[in-house]
Every structure is written in C-alpha cells, then in structure tokens.
Structure 1
Amino acid sequence: MKNFFLPLLAIFCVLNASPAQSAQNIQKGDVVVVPLQGEVAPSMFLFLRRVQKSAESAGAAALILEMNTYGGRLDSAEQITNLLNRTQLPTYTFINTNAGSAGSLIALATRHIYMAPVSAIGAAAPVLASGDDLGVTARDKTISYWSALIRGSATRNGHNPDVGEAFMNKEKEVKIGERVIHSKGSLLTLNAQEATEAIEGKPLLADGIADSVGDLVKKAALQGSVVKIEPTGFERIALWITALAPLLLLVGIIGAYLEFKIPGASLPGFIAAICFALFFLGHYLAGLAGWEVVGVFVLGVCLVLAEIFFFAHSTILVGVIGICLMLGSLLWAMIDRYPGQTFFPTGPMLRVPLVNLLVAILAALAAIAILARYLPRTSVYRRFILSADIPAGPSLDTAPREFVPTAAVAPGLKGLAVTTLRPSGKARFGQHVVDVVTEGDFIPAETPVAVISTDGMRVVVKTSTS
C-alpha cells in the first residue's frame, strides 16, 4: 500500500519546491505583477487565473499585467477578459511594448492602461489560425459579437467604447465632440503618444506613459511591495491534464481496484497513485484546486483502509465516509471557484465537473465488471495470486489431495494456516489441507487457527489464541 502514497508524496514535494509556489507567497497589500508575454493561449489564461485567485485571497493592493503580445486566440482572450472583469482588485495593464489584436482586448478589461514610450495597441481584426481573412459571413458574425463584448468591457472599466470597437471593426468611426479621431476604412491602432493625448480633459485611452513597471507604480501612487510572478511552464501541462481529467480518474479507479484485488501486485497501486497525483497537480496549476482537497482525498483513503483492516465486521460507516470524502475532493478539485463566492457551488459551476466525474465512475464500473469476470481466468492473475499466497518452503504438491468431509472438521478444531488467508486460503488440520475462509481478517501463513463454523464445504476460521 505504500506504493500508493509514495508517488503522491513525491509529486507534491516537487511542486512545493517549484516556482509555482511563488503565487502562494503573495502578502496582503502587495502589488502583483503578471507578465503576459507571447501568444494569447489557454496556458496564459490558466496562469493568470491561478495568480489572480492567489492575489484576491491574500488581499493584494493591485494587479498589473505587463504585456507584450501580438495577439493569439480569441477564445482565450475572452476567458481572460471575463476573468479580469470579475475581480475586485484594481487592475492595470503596462504595455511593454505590444498589445496587438487579442492583447488590446485584454488591456481594455483592466481599469488603467499605461504604455511604454515606444509601444502600440490595437489592430484586433479576427483572422483564421493560418492568418487568412475570415469569410464574409463569419467575419460579420465575429465582429458583431466581439464589438458588443468589447464595448461592454471598455465601458465597465472606464474606457471609451468607440475606441475599443474601432480596434476590431474598420467600419467604426471614433469621434469626440466635433473632432474625428479615427475615420472609417481601417482598423485603429494607437501609439503611446496618441493613446495618452488629452481630449476634452481626458486621455483618449491610456492613463500615462511609463518607462517601467516601477515607474508605473510611482505614477499610479500604488503602495506595497512589488511581487512579480513568473509563469512556471507547467501551465501547458496543466492544460492537458485538466482536459484528460476523466481518463486520469478512470485509470486511477481501476488501478486502485486492482491493487486490492491482487495484493501481491504493486504496479496497479503505483499507477493509480500517479494518476490521482497528476489529477490534483494539474488542477492546482490550472488555478482550480488547492492543497486542502488533497488533504481531504488522503483522509478519505485512510478511512477506507481503516474500514478494510479494522472495522470490517462492525460497521461500514467509516468506509462510506471515506469514499464520500474521496469523491467529494475529486469533484471539488474541478470546480472553478473564486474567493468571495458562496461555499456551495452553483449549478453552472458543477456542470462540467459532475459530467467528468460521472463519466469516469461509470466507465470504471464497466471496466471493473469486465475485470471481475475475466481477470481470474488469466495466467497473469493466477501467477500473482500463487506468488502471494504460497510461502517459501516445500511444495504443497506433495500434500494429500483428498475430499475431507465437514464432519472431520468440526467447530473448535485447531490447525495451522498454510497460505495467507485473504480472507480465503488453505489450512492444515492434522494430515488434511482444507480450503478455509476467515470472517474478513487477513491471517498470515503459519498462524494457528481454529474452526468457528462449517456450512457444507465452507469452513470458517479465526486466529487461535491458545
């Protein structure tokens, strides 16, 4: 059974020593800087979500996005935009040096924008992954949807919604008072000087120009220590792990079943532990799970083991509680919950986690039913059972193989366990080797036993105390 816990311990010890833990070192009042570099992708969303949740939980003073991107996936930009629009933290974007395409949409979801002296923001026209233009219908639908989203996000954060829409829609004119800032016919792109130009007493878009993050902190009069959280590189791994969550749970459940079904085999338990460890690791890196769910899962495992080894004849309550804790921790690890939300998740929060868990459980039950039927017939299973049950020493082949009537094995008769009773096995009574079963206890070989009762060919024994 130690093989089940060692991979869990090893993986989480490695994670504790990794840079991923830096997000947990945010203190109350800190100014948290998050670099958003390169392509806007799902891994960027996972990284930002993890850091933002940590910053909110710690009570950080502000969140600064240090941005340098030419754009990327619109679906990831939408996820990041929704993430930023839901936070109560003061949010800043420092454009150093590009906020192109999807990057400009993310910047509009923060309350304050600062730009490096040589920088640009805008040009957010949607294109195919290959770089080619969308078809007319697809382009019109995409621009219509995103224009509405951009306007809402810009308005919420105090930016000019017309400027945001003109980043994506070349048919949008930007006019302030009598002055036309941008005419129809091309996408709007602003440099630092244009974005900070005061028009009718208010900057067109950006609050100011800053040479660095430190300069931004001074100009924005932010207080507190500046803490920069770097991406770990694990976010891409987390993306795959969270996507494969049902498969990891399926293999983990089957491995745990085989560990108990074939006590002599350690590989199934090791594989199960790896699967569960990767499951929790991926959801932690994705900003979904914390260490508390791991503790609940381990507690559930301990209760199930206690039920098997200590309470097998008295109650099933301990085991049921353990199973509930394990399933609850697996479900909780997949729920996207933010600080300040109610303890009990809502229906939309539960939908995907419940589907993943139910798919894994149903598939595992089907696989276990098949294994229970056909596994005992395989040579691999018989080899493990024999190696586990037959102790070293003379072969049992020389033992008399004869039918022993139950009358010859009466309650109170004492003998010796020949094999480990798990709970079934063989025991010797005088010159006879008999198939016996315990009431659920595991009894090692060479242990004195006594017959409790007989029922036809079934002989029930227990450890003999005298």
Structure 2
Amino acid sequence: MKMCAISICFAFVFGVASHAPARETIRRGDVVVVPVHGEVAPSLLAFLRRAMKTAESNDASAIVFDMNTYGGRLDTATEVVSAFNQIKIPTYTFINTNAGSAGALIVIATQHIYMAPVSAIGAAAPILSTGEDLPATAKEKTISYWSALVRGSAIKNGHDPDLAEAFMNKDKEVKISERVVHRKGAVLTLNAQEATEKINGKPLLAEGVVDSIADLTKKAGLKGTIAKIEPTGFEQLAFWITALAPLLLLGGILGAYLEFKIPGVMWPGVISAICFALFFLGHYLAGLAGWEVVALFVLGMVLVLIEILFFAHSTIVFGVLGVFLIIASLLWTMIDRYPQQPFLPTGKMLAIPLLNMFIALVGALLVITLLARYLPRTSLYRRFALIDSNPPGPSLAGAPRHFATALALAPGMQGTAVTVLRPSGKARFADHVVDVVTEGEFIARETPVTVIQSDGMRVVVKSAAVV
C-alpha cells in the first residue's frame, strides 16, 4: 500500500513534468525568440532562465527578446540583468512598443537593440509598489547602486553608460562630444526615432527601426530558422516551489526519519516522497535542473537502504556513499548553472544552495532531537510501534486488540532480535516474540539483546554486546 502511494505520487509529478513544455525543440543555428511581456516578476525570471539555458544548450545562433513591458519588480530585474549578462551567444531586443522602468534596465543587458516604429524606452526611476516615491535616503542608495550596475551592464554590451544611467537618475546629464543629448532634471525616455538617431556616425542607442521579428532578423543579418519559446503556466508554480526549497527539504528529511523510526506507518514515507518530488519538480520547471539529479538522488537512497538492510554493523561504505550522493544531488539541483559555465560550481553559485541546505539540516536536527526525546512516550508511537494489529476478517471483527508485550519481561532478560530493529521491531524471549524498541540504535537480526526497561506496554532493549 505504501509503495503504491509513493508510486502514484511520483507518477503524478512525472506526469506534470512531461506535460510542461520545458524543453522545446531548438536546433543548432536557430534564432530563438523569447517574449518578455507583462510585469517583470519572479515567474518571468523563471521562464527567461529556462529559455536562455535551452537556447544555449542547443547551440542557437542568437536570442531575440520580444519586449513589451511597463516594468515591475526591481529585485527581479536585478536577477534578469545578471542572467542576461551570462549569455554567451548574441542577444537582441525588439522593443515591441514598451520597455519602461525595469524593462529599460533589462534591455541594456542585451547587445543589440531594435525598436518598433511607435515605441519607447526609459523612465526607470525606482518607486514604491504603491507608485509613490521612495524615501529620500532609500532613493539615494537605490539609485547609487543601480547606477553602478546599469553602467557596468551598458559597458559590457556596447552601450553608452551615461545614457543608461540617465534612464533612472534624473540628475544625470548626457553629453556626447559637444552635444547635450539630455539635460538633468528628469529621467530619460527615448522614442524609436530619438534612440536610432546617429551622432558621430553611431546610433544613440538602438541600431534600427523594424516592423517585426522577421524584419529584425533580416536587417541584423541573422540566417537561422526562427524558433519561439513560449512561457507556460508552470513558471509561477516553479517560483513558489524553489522559494520553499528549505521547507521541502525539511519535510523530506523528517518524513524519512519517521519512516525509519516507525516503519509500520505509511504517511511519513509518503510525505517524504511528496516533498522530495516537489523539490525536484519545481527546480526542473524553473530551468535549474534536469532529471539526472533525480537519478543521482535515487541511487543514493538505494545505497543507504542497502547499507541498512544488508550491511548494518559490518560496513559503512554504502551508507556514506549514498548520503554523499543524496546531498550532492540536492545541492546540484539548486545551483543556477548556465551551459557555458565551468562544470564545478563557484562559491557564488553554491551560496544559496548551501544556505537552503543549512536551514533544512539545522531545522531537521532540532525537530529530530525533540522527536527522539518525546515521540516514544506518545500514544501514537505506541500504537504503531508496539501494538499487534489483528488481521482483517469477519471472524475477528469484534476481537479486542492486545499488546504483544503481555509477557512479563524484566530488565536484564536476554533475547534475540527476530527482525532488524530500526529502532523498533520484534525480538524473541523464550518462546514468545514481542515488539521491542531500542533507544535509537539499529540492531541487526539474530543479534542478542537485553531488556533495559519494561512498563507493560513498552519494552526497551539494547544489544547484549553493549556494556
């Protein structure tokens, strides 16, 4: 029953993943078109990250961002700009009407800019979500930070850094040669004609005015087949799952612990499976990981089970290797790695995964400590760990349950473990097989055990070899 429930859980997750078009067919040399429409929000970041990795990993010749946004969250724009600046293939933006506020800052992170005949870019001054201005100190700090960021992004992608800064800083004057392009006092906004004006033989910002993506590819000399990557409804789900990664890891670890602590109960194992399945699904949909990390995780779990079931108290090789693979797969799943980056992650790439893992492990350690201390005293634990269940059938429908520990057992009595005690199981004393529990240690089958405590409902034993 338990395996059936876990199988259904994983089947559902794999079914969701298979219906999510997260791996579009992109061929070598294609020109990939990625829409950037609507609010700049975390779900857009998840989509853009997936699209960029898909294009690069399939050797696309260029990425064209079809831009139409009035802006959005500045923190999300920061991450989008950072992601754009990691792309190794040529990047183009088609401003298809609007590139306002945060959208303007994102455009600067691409190498080539084209604009529709009626379009605009700029007005990127930071404001509160209510539309009001930031407090003076906060505004000064925000503009100072973003000015440095956007200037660096502009220089990297071949744009005028002063022009880029003027989009958000009203005190920035833009002067090219002897001509003042923009006077301070207001944030800069450019229409298509202004942005494409040539000064000293070079366009002010945009390379040309185009009517469509096809027109852009023609004027830019892009030869590949146009392939489009569309957003799905799963990006928002991916955002929330990745944001809750520490809690999902915590739930998975605690569920696994309770599964070994109370092996006769179904729900801890199912909860653990659900948490880990959602963890991997969310990061897959967010474009952070593929199914190879799931295979690594499953292999680690298999090795741990082999250690517990077949090599308890004889070797730790399988267990150590299994735990290493599990931790490595969980960390690797959370690493935001792009195709052209080195295989081994940098410290910056590991920062968030390690933080999430640390939060989950510390939380799990605290909860497990409390459970190990108080769980054996609860009626719930006794019900599942120490009570024999009557087999189903009409002849026993009215028969009362009885405790398998009815045999009078006193501390010091010797017996033999009939099953693996992990930490609960069965042991034989004389001609009676009773339910027992250890103080946390695992004891292999056929190991001599000694009773150290018996209260009529609960028999605690230890290995007879332990002094």
The two structures have a TM-score, normalised by structure 1, of 0.85
Deviation string 1:192-235 (CA, Å, 9 cap, x unpaired) is 12212223222221111121112211221212222211122322
The residue number in structure 1 matching 2:308 is 308
The residue number in structure 2 matching 1:49 is 49
Shift of 1:433: 5.8
Q: Could you tell me whether the CA contact under 8 Å between 1:401 and 1:433 is conserved in 2? A: no
State how 1:101-250 maps to structure 2 within 5 Å.
101-250=101-250
State how 1:342-421 maps to structure 2 within 5 Å.
342-386=342-386, 401=407
Shift of 1:159: 1.8
Q: Could you tell me whether the CA contact under 8 Å between 1:389 and 1:420 is conserved in 2? A: no
Q: Distance in 1 between matches of 2:147 and 2:406?
A: 87
Residue identity in the other structure for 2:166: A
Q: Distance in 2 between matches of 1:199 and 1:214?
A: 27
Residue identity in the other structure for 1:131: G
Q: Distance in 1 between matches of 2:31 and 2:119?
A: 23
Q: Secondary structure at the match of 2:63?
A: strand
Shift of 1:96: 0.9
Deviates more, 1:103-112 or 1:132-141: 132-141
Q: Distance in 1 between matches of 2:405 and 2:314?
A: 37
Q: Distance in 1 between matches of 2:343 and 2:32?
A: 26
Q: Distance in 2 between matches of 1:350 and 1:398?
A: 51
Shift of 1:28: 2.0
Q: Distance in 2 between matches of 1:399 and 1:250?
A: 34
Q: Distance in 1 between matches of 2:205 and 2:403?
A: 89
Q: Percent identity?
A: 60
Deviates more, 1:421-430 or 1:278-287: 421-430
Q: Secondary structure at the match of 1:19?
A: coil
Q: Distance in 1 between matches of 2:329 and 2:33?
A: 31
Deviation string 1:20-45 (CA, Å, 9 cap, x unpaired) is 233xx323222111111111122222
The residue number in structure 1 matching 2:19 is 17
Shift of 1:62: 0.6
Q: Distance in 2 between matches of 1:259 and 1:235?
A: 32
Q: Distance in 2 between matches of 1:125 and 1:191?
A: 17
Shift of 1:453: 5.7
The residue number in structure 2 matching 1:31 is 31
The residue number in structure 1 matching 2:9 is 7
Q: Distance in 1 between matches of 2:421 and 2:451?
A: 19
Shift of 1:399: 11
Gaps of 5+ in 2: 453-460
Deviates more, 1:55-64 or 1:193-202: 193-202
State how 1:317-336 maps to structure 2 within 5 Å.
317-336=317-336
Q: Distance in 2 between matches of 1:174 and 1:400?
A: 90
Q: Distance in 2 between matches of 1:403 and 1:169?
A: 81
Gaps of 5+ in 1: 412-416, 443-450, 462-466
Shift of 1:304: 1.4
Q: Distance in 2 between matches of 1:35 and 1:397?
A: 66
The residue number in structure 2 matching 1:447 is none
Q: Distance in 1 between matches of 2:291 and 2:111?
A: 32
Q: Could you tell me whether the CA contact under 8 Å between 1:256 and 1:269 is conserved in 2? A: yes
State the aligned residue count: 444
Shift of 1:352: 2.5
- Shift in CA distance, 206/428, structure 1 to aligned 2, threshold 3 Å: same
Shift of 1:267: 1.1
Q: Could you tell me whether the CA contact under 8 Å between 1:288 and 1:334 is conserved in 2? A: yes
Q: Distance in 2 between matches of 1:230 and 1:126?
A: 29
- Shift in CA distance, 379/117, structure 1 to aligned 2, threshold 3 Å: same
Q: Secondary structure at the match of 2:23?
A: helix
Deviation string 1:307-350 (CA, Å, 9 cap, x unpaired) is 22233354221122111111111111122222232222222222
Q: Distance in 1 between matches of 2:233 and 2:90?
A: 26
Residue identity in the other structure for 1:249: L
Residue identity in the other structure for 1:271: I
Q: Distance in 2 between matches of 1:337 and 1:433?
A: 55
- Shift in CA distance, 233/456, structure 1 to aligned 2, threshold 3 Å: closer
Q: Distance in 2 between matches of 1:359 and 1:51?
A: 30
Deviates more, 1:78-87 or 1:143-152: 143-152
- Shift in CA distance, 174/426, structure 1 to aligned 2, threshold 3 Å: closer
Residue identity in the other structure for 1:17: H
Q: Could you tell me whether the CA contact under 8 Å between 2:410 and 2:451 is conserved in 1? A: no
Deviation string 1:287-306 (CA, Å, 9 cap, x unpaired) is 32222111111111111122
Residue identity in the other structure for 2:426: G
Deviates more, 1:292-301 or 1:156-165: 156-165
Deviation string 1:340-398 (CA, Å, 9 cap, x unpaired) is 32222222222222222122112212211221222122222222235666656787679
Q: Distance in 2 between matches of 1:58 and 1:294?
A: 22
Shift of 1:66: 0.7
Q: Distance in 2 between matches of 1:91 and 1:385?
A: 61
- Shift in CA distance, 119/399, structure 1 to aligned 2, threshold 3 Å: closer
Superposition CA RMSD, Å: 3.3
Q: Distance in 2 between matches of 1:97 and 1:410?
A: 81
Q: Could you tell me whether the CA contact under 8 Å between 1:264 and 1:388 is conserved in 2? A: no
Q: Distance in 2 between matches of 1:370 and 1:174?
A: 63
Deviation string 1:76-134 (CA, Å, 9 cap, x unpaired) is 22221122122211000011110011111111111111111111111112212211122
Q: Distance in 1 between matches of 2:179 and 2:22?
A: 49
Say yes or no: does 1:425 pair with 2:426. yes
